Chains A and B, each alone.
Chain A
Amino acid sequence: MPWIPRGLREGIVTTRYPRRPDGYGPRFNAAVVVRPGPHDAATLAAAAAACPTGAIAVAGVPASGPAEGVGRDASAGGVALDRGRCVLCGRCTDLAPGVFGFDPSFEIAGITRDTLVVPRRPETDRAIAATRTELGRRTRALRRSVHIRHVDAGSDGADEWEIAALTNPVYDVQRLGIFFTASPRHADLLLATGTGTAAMLGPLRETYEVMPEPKIVIAAGVDAVSGGLVGRGYATSGGIGDAVPVDVWVPGAPASPFGLLSAILLALDLLPAAHGAGVAPPPSTPGRAAPAPAPEGDPIPGVGA
């Protein structure tokens, strides 16, 4: 059987995450960070106006359209950014590089919708501590082995590639006791993608209902979180949150495999407590935010970081 030696040829390609930090290296845009202020008001207003999904709110500027709801968080430095809406287009980072920047750290999922808004306020962190404890208690039984049922509720198709990637030799989630299952009756975790189309809300809900307790729901990618660029329309409901009770929200357009993996671990309470706060730490206060995981060298042959 000539295939057998090939199975071993690449040596160890599998990431050691979460035991050791890993990353794509500095050139991968996992999320946008907001640098500490103060910032020039006109620059902020220009960036907010350029954002295609209204993800940026500026203090004192009434948010229009989809940005309502982000506005109340526009406190620190006068600006807030909702990663649950950010499609990573790079307009704000181009227009206002002093305020916004791309960041490769991928531990960006949140257990409440609010926690996707950065910079995160200390109140939010305190408020979610209880939710996190509760979620951890609920999912304790699943830590050794968890079965995932994926449902596409109107994705653009790329989300499915990233989810499927979790089983490739690099992420190899089986090593962590994470498995995919076809049967919702054997599933513990519902991994939902897409904007929540009219015809898929029913099948999505039915899948959730037949899953046994305890069960977790992850909204994967901005389309599932907020509808993303497609948003609300005659056939979409702006995410899946109205149809099923979401436990973990994962930004990304689409959510990257590392982003998805860290979200699953977050749901199972297997991530360390220092969990990405979305603020580049100012030099004077080291350790205020989780530092970007230092890439430990790209384990994959052929792609230099």
Chain B
Amino acid sequence: MSGSASDGAPRLEAFVAHVADRIDGGARFCGLLAVPASEGTRLVAILAWGTALRAESVSLPEAGLTFPSLTSRIPGANWYEREIHDLYGLEPAGHPQLDPLVLPLARGADRPCPGSGAPGRPVELDCRPPPSRLSGQGVFTIPYGPVRSGVFESVEYQVETPGEDIPSVRTRVFYKHRGIEARFEGMDVADGALLAERVEGVASVAHAVAYCGAIEQIAGVEVPEGAGLVRVVHAELERVANHLDSTIRHAEAAGQAVAFARLTLHKERLLRLRGALCGSRFGRGVVIPGGVASGMAMATRELFAALDELQRDIRSDLRMLMATPSFVDRLRGTGVIPPALAAQYGAVGPLGRGSGQTDDARLARPYAGYLQLGNQLVDVRSEGDALARQRVRIDEIEGAFHLVRQAADQLDDRREAHGPWSIPVGGFTSGEGLGWAEAPQGEVFYFVSMRGGRLVRVKPRSASFHNLGLFRAAFPRDILTDFAFIEASFGLSVAGVAG
């Protein structure tokens, strides 16, 4: 569905109703974004149904600065509308709490409007916290961050404690806002892939795959089978690294010193293995539009030997960790996201799968590489606590090792006949596309529009952004003692949220 700009308000209301109906009919809400058009702005809702992500869009009237908020019918739209307000100045009428999210501009400052071709002058910010939502006696606010106590990404959590009542957490992610969407503008497709790797640097491979998926859709290019398999190898090793990292943070919070040391050792071994495969400990430079830069710089036999040893050690230590009561007890019942809430928000990744949501882009919307491989069924859990998320991650580590072996095996079989590693994408392509991947954090998608081979509007949407909207819902209990566990169990990267 798309609408012209001529008949304003009724069209917009109809758009909201249409999107909401789709979701009632079983589609999952994945995001909402703004795309500058020659006249006015287009609002694009991204929905998952069937085996693809689909865009539904409507044009705002040329001078229109408001649109009806979707949040009352689609709670997951809340953060997206705040982001659109920050970046474009468009106001979602009826939004419950339109605080700045990614860019707290000073009053009267110009909006950056990524994709509009506007020059990016340095912005003036007003980082003062908005007034407290809670009222009454004895309400006080404890700020954590933005400089954290440890080697973490910058983010600020403001914990409001109203005496005896349940405290609430306000997440302030804008400290790291780099204006990355505007940075894509004008790049060629190859440079865009390098930038996509840096949107959320711990999930570089997944971001590059999703970005390139959009470019390949626009160019009408099919990735060579061998290239798809190489992508799987790197993406699955990235998954193991991230799931280990989240487990490491759990172990640290629980004071499990030996487990912490051993898991950090395994993570280092894994990053070295990734470095040996491609030269980068983060798999950077592997995925390029149309395929991969090259095959793997390691013989399959050597790779398998390294995988066997690593998997054996990781499995053994994780088994021991999950049999350590003082560890498991800290996660059980902590940070519960009930399945109904997860469904309502369309929670993705291990967060969703720990709360009863089956969606996994590798299975539901298979993309290059995964099409050729056997299904790894994901064991969904319904407890919704940090322990469920930890168990999902452990299962996924096993699944990831299996997929790497399968992919490497198939690559080996076709070594003689793998053909080219990439298909050139046309130099002067124009159009719009959507690409996606299952990052360790969950579904990531890219909306890309390009003209004459140059990027015009690129909107990366990380799983971290989508899931962090649920963060405050995870705190029904004692905030101060559970905080580190809940944060680690969400397993998100701030870079991917702040944009």
Interface residues, chain A, with chain B CB atoms under 8 Å away? 2-4, 6-7, 10, 13, 24-25, 27-29, 52, 87-90, 102, 150-165, 167-170, 180, 182, 184, 194-195, 197-200, 202-203, 207, 223, 228-231, 233-237, 253-254, 256-257, 298, 300-305
Q: From residue A166, how far is it (CB to closest CB) to chain B in Å?
A: 9
Q: From residue A235, how far is it (CB to closest CB) to chain B in Å?
A: 4
| Contact, CB under 8 Å: A155 / B495 | yes
| Contact, CB under 8 Å: A180 / B150 | yes
In the assembled complex, which residues on chain B have CB atoms less than 8 Å from the CB atom of A7?
Answer: 258, 261-262
Q: From residue B294, how far is it (CB to closest CB) to chain A in Å?
A: 9
B17 at the interface (CB under 8 A from A): no
Interface residues, chain B, with chain A CB atoms under 8 Å away? 103-104, 112, 120-123, 125, 127, 146-147, 149-154, 174-180, 182-183, 190-191, 194-195, 198-202, 204, 245, 256, 258-259, 261-262, 264-265, 267-269, 271-273, 275-276, 279-282, 284-285, 293, 297, 302, 305-306, 309-310, 313, 317, 320, 324, 493-496
In the assembled complex, which residues on chain A have CB atoms less than 8 Å from the CB atom of B282?
Answer: 158, 254
Q: A10-B265, A90-B293 are in contact. Are A152 and B279 (CB under 8 A)?
A: no
In the assembled complex, which residues on chain B have CB atoms less than 8 Å from the CB atom of A298?
Answer: 272
Q: A6-B258, A154-B176, A200-B154 are in contact. Are A233 and B302 (CB under 8 A)?
A: no
| Contact, CB under 8 Å: B306 / A102 | no
C-alpha spacing A302/B191, complex, angstroms: 34
In the assembled complex, which residues on chain B have CB atoms less than 8 Å from the CB atom of A303?
Answer: 269, 272-273, 276, 306, 310
C-alpha spacing A182/B150, complex, angstroms: 6
| Contact, CB under 8 Å: B495 / A168 | no
Contact for B176 among A6, A200, A256, A300, CB less than 8 A:
A200
Contact for A200 among B175, B200, B262, B310, CB less than 8 A:
B175
C-alpha spacing A231/B256, complex, angstroms: 40
C-alpha spacing A294/B177, complex, angstroms: 41
C-alpha spacing A198/B126, complex, angstroms: 10
| Contact, CB under 8 Å: B120 / A28 | no
| Contact, CB under 8 Å: B179 / A234 | yes
Contact for A182 among B149, B195, B281, CB less than 8 A:
B149
Interface centre among A157, A200, A202, A254, by most B CB within 10 Å?
A: A157
In the assembled complex, which residues on chain B have CB atoms less than 8 Å from the CB atom of A160?
Answer: 151-153
C-alpha spacing A102/B284, complex, angstroms: 14
In the assembled complex, which residues on chain A have CB atoms less than 8 Å from the CB atom of B195?
Answer: 229-230
Contact for A234 among B112, B194, B276, CB less than 8 A:
B112
C-alpha spacing A25/B174, complex, angstroms: 39
In the assembled complex, which residues on chain B have CB atoms less than 8 Å from the CB atom of A230?
Answer: 178, 180, 183, 195, 198
Q: A27-B279, A230-B180 are in contact. Are A161 and B302 (CB under 8 A)?
A: no
Q: From residue B99, how far is it (CB to closest CB) to chain A in Å?
A: 15
C-alpha spacing A2/B326, complex, angstroms: 13
Interface centre among A13, A160, A182, by most B CB within 10 Å?
A: A160
Pairs across A and B, CB under 8 Å, 5 listed: A158-B204, A197-B177, A235-B123, A236-B179, A257-B268
Q: From residue B271, how far is it (CB to closest CB) to chain A in Å?
A: 8
For B242, give the chain A residue with the smallest CB separation. Answer: A161
For B245, give the chain A residue with the smallest CB separation. Answer: A161
| Contact, CB under 8 Å: B178 / A304 | no
Contact for B201 among A158, A198, A200, CB less than 8 A:
A158
| Contact, CB under 8 Å: B264 / A195 | no
C-alpha spacing A206/B57, complex, angstroms: 45
Contact for B268 among A28, A88, A170, A194, CB less than 8 A:
A170
In the assembled complex, which residues on chain A have CB atoms less than 8 Å from the CB atom of B264?
Answer: 164-165, 167-169
Q: A88-B285, A197-B175 are in contact. Are A6 and B317 (CB under 8 A)?
A: yes
Interface centre among B151, B190, B204, B297, by most A CB within 10 Å?
A: B151
C-alpha spacing A245/B264, complex, angstroms: 32
Instruction: List 7 tightest A-B contacts by C-beta distance, closest first.
Output: A156-B201, A158-B201, A234-B120, A182-B149, A168-B264, A302-B309, A29-B279
| Contact, CB under 8 Å: B265 / A6 | no
